[in-house]
Amino acid sequence: MAYHFSSKPSLISFILLTFLLFAESTFGSKVVDVNIICKEVQNPSFCSKILNSKPSGAKGADLGSLANYTVEVVFGNITKTIKLIKSLIAHSGKDLEAKSHYEDCLYLFGDESGSLGEIMDTQERLKARDYFGVITSAASVIANIEYCISGEDPQDPPYPDKSKLPQYVRFIEQIVEIILVISKYLTQE
């Protein structure tokens, strides 16, 4: 028995196409204007620079790819920050206050219990489309940054850090703020 294929779309093709379009709109992320996201952060020009530096892919600037991109940027910067903190500990010499401060920051940033673990958790939650979980994990990174820079007790004065650490963590904080805004939009999909 020979099968002949028609050049006309069949009912099955139409149904399949309709299903794929529905699935894409249901499971895909919507494309957004970067400026809309950046209006909601404290430093819109920084946000625009970060989001517009994303290499364009086939999907363009959809929320999911923007979220993944910013999480990757944060992951790389947390890794650099951990290296910096370890170097600062090694070079703190006899300055016990500096050493203690940097050890506290290393605890807040390093391994599974710190920001590095939280951002890895954020990556997993993005894959699972658990956007409220993304918000929770990203907020933990912000808290760790605040504890590192300002200390856990508001009554205590912050450590007068003259190293590059405050710049590194503020950079991370600004990117995490972008992740929080993107996640807010992802929860609305």
What domains can you pick out in the chain, each with its CATH number? 30-187 (1.20.140.40)
3-state secondary structure 149-162: HHCCCCCCCCCCCC
Mean pLDDT of the chain: 83
| Least reliable range by pLDDT among 54-68, 128-142, 166-180 | 54-68
Q: Model confidence over 101-120: pLDDT tens digits? A: 999 999 999 877 899 999 99
Measuring CA to CA, how many Å separate 103 from each of 82, 113, 116, 134? Answer: 10, 14, 15, 27
Whole-Å CA distances, 136 to 4, 70, 142? 56, 16, 10
- The pLDDT tens digits for 163-189 are 999 999 999 999 999 999 999 999 987
Q: Would you say residue 10 has pLDDT above 60?
A: no
pLDDT bracket for residue 13 (50, 70, 90): very low
What distance in Å separates the CA atoms of residue 98 and residue 160, rounded to the nearest whole number? 9
* Reported confidence tier of residue 151, pLDDT bands at 50, 70, 90: confident
Predicted TM-score (pTM) of the model is 0.80
* pLDDT given at position 56: 67
